[in-house]
Structures are given as C-alpha cells and as structure tokens.
A and B are shown apart, each in its own frame.
Chain A
C-alpha cells in the first residue's frame, strides 16, 4: 500500500516540487536500506519532516528579526543594524549569542517551576501549529482531517502559558501584562474563529489541504478563485488579518507588552534564554497565524495567475506569507499603539459584528451558487455586508464623538 502511493506520486526525487520533502525521504530510504523495522522508518521520516519545517522557520525567524529592524529603521529614516557583517546580516547571530550568554534571573518571589514552564509552553503550541499547514501541493507535514480545529485548540494553550508567565513572575508588571494579554486574546480569538467559520461553510471541510484545493482554478480564466476575492471572503479575510495582529500581540495591538506602559508585560521578569524562547514563540506564532490566513483566504500554495504552474507551489505559499508579514511590519511602522478601551471597543463593536455577518453571507453565497445564480450571489452578499458596515460606521463614529473619556480609576 505504502509503496503503491509512493510510486504513484513520486515523479522524481529531485524535482523542485518535492524538494522540501527530500530530507524526509532520504532518511526513510536510508533506514529502509539498512532494513530498519517499519516503526523506526516512520519515526525517522516524521522526525526528518519536522526538522525540515523547524529549519525553515528558524531561519525565517532569524531573518525576520533582522528584516523587521531594517524595515522599521527605513520607515523612520534610519539605517538600522549595520555593524555585524555586511548590511548587518549577522545581527541575528550576534543577538542569539548575546541572549544565550546572559544571566538567567529568576525573581525571589517567583514560582520557580511555573516560571520555568511558561516559556516552554509558549513555544510548543507555536511549533505544533506550524506542523498542520499545507505549504505546497505535496508538502503538508501533518495532513490532519481536523487541521483547522487543531490550530485553534493550540491557540488556547498559548493563552494559558501567557497567564502562567505573568502570574509565576510574582511581580506587578507581568501580572498587568498577562491580564491585558488574556482579555485581548480572548476577545480577538472570537472574530478569528468566526471569520474562519465562513470558510469552513463554503469549502465544507475542516482539513487545511482541502480548503486550499477548494481555492484552485480561475474565474473568467484569469481571476484566481481565492476566498479573499469574494465579498464574504474579503470581509472575512480583513477581519481575520486584523484579529491575527491582535492575537499575535503586535503593534498597534501590542498593549500586553507596551514598553512605555508596563515594561515588557508578561516577559518583564525573564532574561537570557527564557526571554529568547518568548521572542521565538511570538515570531513562530506570527508565522503560524499568517500562514493560516494565507491558507484560508489567499489560496495557500495556489499560483496567482494561470500558466505559472511550473513554479513549485511552496514558493507561492512563502511569497504570500512574506507579503502578509511585510504588511504587518508596515502596519507596525505606521500606527501608534491603541488604548485598552479602544482596543476592546474595536474588537467587540467592529470586528465581531463584521465577522458574524460573513457567516450568513457565506451561507447565501453557497446556496445561490448551488442554484446557479452566480451574479445574484455577488449582489446579495455585497449588499448584506456593505449596508450594515455603513450603518455601523456611522453609529460608531457618532458614539465616539459623543463619548468623553473619563479616567475612572485615575481620578478617585
């Protein structure tokens, strides 16, 4: 059975489409060559596959930490890191050495075990989430049937570990940061999941590779059938990406770590390698959630134009991922940090209603398309989304104009 599948689907060991799977297959072939038992072969294959994903994203993490500083520097008319190596390219290495050689401080009032556990618990779900994304036509490290649900279940673990980090530090800034982080993550997870529900309804599956496969093909011969190019998908995708910035605690939603307000939030009492783990968990989580957004709304590994099929599909995935992350950097360079009440109001009064609207829109879209009324589907869903949006915007602005911010706790 296994060899049958392998023969049917393996054109060549060295074809670019299969390149990311090369380590896995090399290890498997090597073990089989030495007549290793079947379980050892499968374990070796899994380990090599996981190592490939980890190697890719660790490199991406190191590069992103440099690119982020460079981009922000250019946005602020500076040069950015330029001392370590040409164009500062060795800056991540220098940062890594600095982090590893720093003293590991555990506060006297901290809960020792939980203080140690928190950074580990924050990295594990981020890495696990990277395992279920479909990176290419042939490259899904763990093709789960319930991949999407698995992804969101892992998000739950992140919340717990942020709380543990904040509480176990035994100090007030981490506690405040954790409280902010949890209220933000709980509020911004809702629009995230709700906008994903529209995608589940239309594609009729929870499996991420199948959701990508559903976005294959082109409308009118040139317009890719990605979900973001439909009315409900545009709204859902925008809500998803905004909420994912909130979920990843990035600027302008970086209140849990607002340096000018609460030092570094739940990471205040961490130093050395544990701090590096938090940093890594945050970036891997950012990759994971942007990768999920690319998968759900931007067509995953599908090529943007017909006739580009000769490019390996995983290149498209990483190009889209890079574009999304660059957008996040751009947003970080542009917007100032929100206030806590603004953040909550935006989440509950703007993102959640819009994401709720995408659900009936997706339902109507599917039913009308099934009945063969494609044009009517466009008109109805656009009307269903735009009219409430305009009404909401008017009400929102009026409410903002009238409300006079009172500092309830600062005054008394």
Chain B
C-alpha cells in the first residue's frame, strides 16, 4: 500500500509531463519514466514477472524506439505543437474525463470480484496459462503484431523513383 501511495502520484506526474513537455524528446523520456515507474509499481505489488517484462519490452524497446523516431522529426513541428497547445486543453479534457469516469466506475465495480488465489501466481503457471488456455489469443496478438510490423516497414520504405 505504501508503494502504491508513493508511486502512483509519481506516475501521474511523469505522465502529465509526458503530455505537457514542449520538446518531443523530453516527452519521450518522460514516457519512458512513466513506463518504468509503472513497472516498479507492478514489482512492488508482487507481480515481479509482469514488472520485469514491462521494463524489458516497454522501456527497453518501445520507449527507446519512440524517442528514436522523435529525433528524426523536424523541429518545425515542435513550434507548431507549442502554439497549438492551449486550444487543445478544452477538447482534450472533454474527451478524457468521461473515459476516466467510466474507467473508475468499472474498476471500482469489478475490483473486489477478482477470483481468489490469483494473487501469488508462479511464473511457470503464467507460462502454462499463456500457452495452453490462452494460446489462441497469444497467437492472434502475434499475427497482429507481425502485420503491424510489415505495415510499418511498407510505410517506412522509400518510394521507388520512377525513371
């Protein structure tokens, strides 16, 4: 509980910073901080496997790639982005507040009904569940990610020059 109380405000601050920072690279680094703090929260709450995977996948690969991609964007976009910001606050809040309310409502309603015995799940059991009961879902996600990667490669490819 202490960990939750300490880490969740930090996570929120980092996330707000990620949205609010003017320079995209700062925002990207703060996103990495948000993700790693969330990983620490998982570890503190007893989900070590999830926390470490969060570090490996989200901090090590996703956040680094995001920051990397941001580097290549032109600084002009940055200035436009800063000029556009005050106007985007209202619509942004309008969109996110209902979502937040729905989330809070659902989480509040479903949380106490979590099945007993899921608190202390050994890694072996997680692996068995993923590759037996939930194997179709894992495969579907794998195919989806491959498709996304192919799509990204298609977009990133230089358009062939016409003679």
> Could you list which residues of chain A lie within 8 angstroms of chain B, going by C-beta atoms?
114, 145-146, 149-150, 152-157, 159-160, 163-164, 167, 175, 179, 182, 186, 189, 206
Contact = CB atoms under 8 A, between A and B. Distances in A.
Given A146-B49, A163-B68, A186-B61, A152 B123 contact: no
B53 interface: yes
Interface string B44-76: 000011001101100111011101100100000
A160 B64 contact: yes
- Chain A binding surface SS class: helix
7 A-B pairs with least C-beta separation: A156-B60, A153-B55, A149-B52, A153-B52, A156-B59, A153-B56, A159-B64
B13 to A, nearest CB: 16
B48 A160 contact: no
Interface of B: 25, 29, 32, 36, 39, 48-49, 52-53, 55-56, 59-61, 63-65, 67-68, 71, 123
Nearest to A162: B64
B52 A155 contact: no
A186 B55 contact: no
28 contacts: A145-B123, A146-B49, A146-B123, A149-B53, A153-B52, A153-B59, A155-B56, A156-B55, A156-B56, A156-B59, A156-B60, A156-B61, A156-B64, A157-B36, A157-B55, A157-B59, A159-B60, A160-B32, A160-B59, A160-B63, A164-B29, A167-B25, A179-B68, A182-B64, A182-B68, A186-B64, A186-B65, A189-B60
A256 to B, nearest CB: 14
A149 B54 CA distance: 11
A412 B140 CA distance: 44
A386 to B, nearest CB: 28
B52 A150 contact: yes
Counting chain A CB atoms within 10 Å of each CB, which of B52, B53, B55, B61 scores highest?
Answer: B52
Counting chain B CB atoms within 10 Å of each CB, which of A152, A159, A179 scores highest?
Answer: A159
Nearest to B124: A204
Counting chain B CB atoms within 10 Å of each CB, which of A149, A150, A153, A189 scores highest?
Answer: A153
Contact of B71 (A146, A152, A164, A167): A167
B45 to A, nearest CB: 15
B56 A152 contact: yes
A145 B48 contact: yes
Counting chain B CB atoms within 10 Å of each CB, which of A154, A163, A186 scores highest?
Answer: A163
A165 B48 CA distance: 29
A150 B40 CA distance: 12
A149 B60 contact: no
Given A163-B67, A163-B68, A206-B123, A153 B49 contact: no
A157 B49 CA distance: 17
A205 to B, nearest CB: 9
A164 B53 CA distance: 22
A149 B56 CA distance: 8
A150 to B, nearest CB: 6
Nearest to B39: A153
Contacts of A175: 71
A289 B60 CA distance: 17
Contacts of A157: 36, 55, 59-60
A409 to B, nearest CB: 12
